[in-house]
Amino acid sequence: MISIAIFVVVGLMVYRHKTKSTSKPNFGLYIPELIDVLLVLIRAGQSPAAAMAQLHYWAPDILFKHLIQVHNRLIHGERFADVMKTLRDDLGSSSYPLCDILVSADRDGLPITSVLDQLAYHAHLERRRLQDINARQLPVRLLLPLTCCILPSFVLLAMVPLVVNSLSAVSAQLF
């Protein structure tokens, strides 16, 4: 009966893990690195459009597919604002400030290094906040494996020999 309960619990944990891994990835975790690389390219003298066209070389792997599409679309002559709108829609809400800043800088020709510095700072703070939330949730996630695996093994290895020894000593005295 206990083994059936353990198999059910393990099955639910595996199912939950697989459903989480097949969901849409959180691109917001990778935006700080993207901004850092973009900042280096822009400080090296690239325009926002040229920096976005080269960004796929140094970006995190999960963003490669989206950034190579940006590269290809820019090479084929599409407008930078249209390409950034598509990237913004693909990556989700975490990329809205970055895309908007790049489009306005390309349109107006204003320097954006100080704005990107501030955006990078806030993106790093947001990622640190999300990591703190995940770290605080860890004890709750580990509670089920602790109670289902470690606690029964402790009872089996530490308590059962004591009970058997006590019962054998009591039965030896009775007979």
27 or 99, higher pLDDT? 99
Looking from the CA of 74 toward its CB, the CA atoms found within 13 Å total 23
Please tell me the distance from the alpha carbon of residue 135 to that of residue 115, in angstroms, as a whole number. 30
Query: What pTM does this model have?
Result: 0.69
Residue 30 dihedral angles phi and psi, to the nearest 5°: -105, -5
136: Cα separation from own chain's centroid: 15
3 or 163, higher pLDDT? 163
pLDDT band, residue 59 (cuts 50/70/90): confident
* Residue 151 clears pLDDT 90, i.e. is over it: no
- In the DSSP assignment, the letter for residue 156 is I
* Residue 51 clears pLDDT 70, i.e. is over it: yes
* Residue 80 clears pLDDT 60, i.e. is over it: yes
Q: Which of 144, 157, 156 is nearest to 10 (CA)?
A: 144
Please tell me the distance from the alpha carbon of residue 121 to that of residue 127, in angstroms, as a whole number. 10
pLDDT at 149: 80
Please tell me the distance from the alpha carbon of residue 99 to that of residue 111, in angstroms, as a whole number. 15
Is the CB of residue 130 less than 8 Å from the CB of residue 29? yes
23 or 136, higher pLDDT? 136
Please tell me the distance from the alpha carbon of residue 164 to that of residue 66, in angstroms, as a whole number. 64
Is the CB of residue 56 less than 8 Å from the CB of residue 64? yes
